[in-house]
Amino acid sequence: MSTTYKLDTSTSRANPTPKPMKRLTVPRIRARKQDGETKEPLVMLTAYTARQAQLLDTHCDLLLVGDSLGQVIYGLPSTIPVTLEMMANHGAAVVRGSYHSVVVIDMPFGSYEASKEQAFESAAHLLKETGAAAVKLEGGEAMAETVAFLNARGIPVMGHVGLTPQAVNVLGGYAARGRSDAEADKIVSDAKALDDAGVFAMVIEGVVEPIAITVTKAVSAPTIGIGASAQCDGQVLVTEDMLGMFERVPRFVKRYEGIASVIDKTVATYASEVRDRSFPGEDQTYQPKD
């Protein structure tokens, strides 16, 4: 019997609750791909808060605490300004709010590129502070040695190839990658290098579909597509994008709901009731006892 934290939705407080540990593990995620085939695709979504994690957890295999929180939560122009402490704080909240999914945390820009040792220090800090199972880092062949170094020291790593948002200044924007033969070959070789280095899974982002399919067939680790192909071994989206929280989203996003309009309508009703003094009513106020 292990102790985890279950969010008490009636009070919005996290209370320690003894529960048998049933969380998925990194080896089980890796084992979903057998002999080059994943019969049941992996489901991954981003999560940044405890309550969001609780709502997503039952339906997902993995929850990604993405550095996209820079834009989604903090209103930053890119992921570049995101700090290690931002990731640690949100990662801890997601772990507290989840029970089933493997929680993976993005390593932010500048926290792992300088050396293998820097990467280990940053990754160890994130896992110790949050209780997450793994980290994710961007880059291909250039990061393969770092991936192997982390693996050898007990830190599972998810890779990320194709469109890598942390390299937006080098790439010159967020356009799809792999349109030229040279770029396509580089994406495939990057993926193979990460696979050889021991990633347990890898994200393929923003590439032309044939490249995503080629990579998926070429590597033993499960691939998780975002703007890639349904033939990947799994899929991930930014939760706020697929829920319709933003007007402008990448082409590859499918809006499954229009939550922003629901919020707008609900808040407009609240504001109207406050202004006409119909809220709070008798049910929301304390009356003298007889």
Which residues carry out catalysis? Answer: 205
**Cβ atoms within 10 Å of 223's Cβ, excluding its own:** 29
Using alpha carbons only, what angle is made at residue 138 by residues 109 and 72, rounded to the nearest 5 degrees?
Answer: 60
Tokens for 34?
């057998």
DSSP, residue by residue, 138-201: -BSHHHHHHHHHHHHTT--EEEEEES-GGGHHHHTSS--B--SHHHHHHHHHHHHHHHHHT-SE
**CA 24/CA 99 separation, integer angstroms:** 9
One-letter amino acid for residue 22 of the chain: K
Q: Return the closest-CA partner of residue 23 out of 52, 55, 61, 65.
A: 61
Reference 223, options 199, 239, 240; nearest CA is: 199
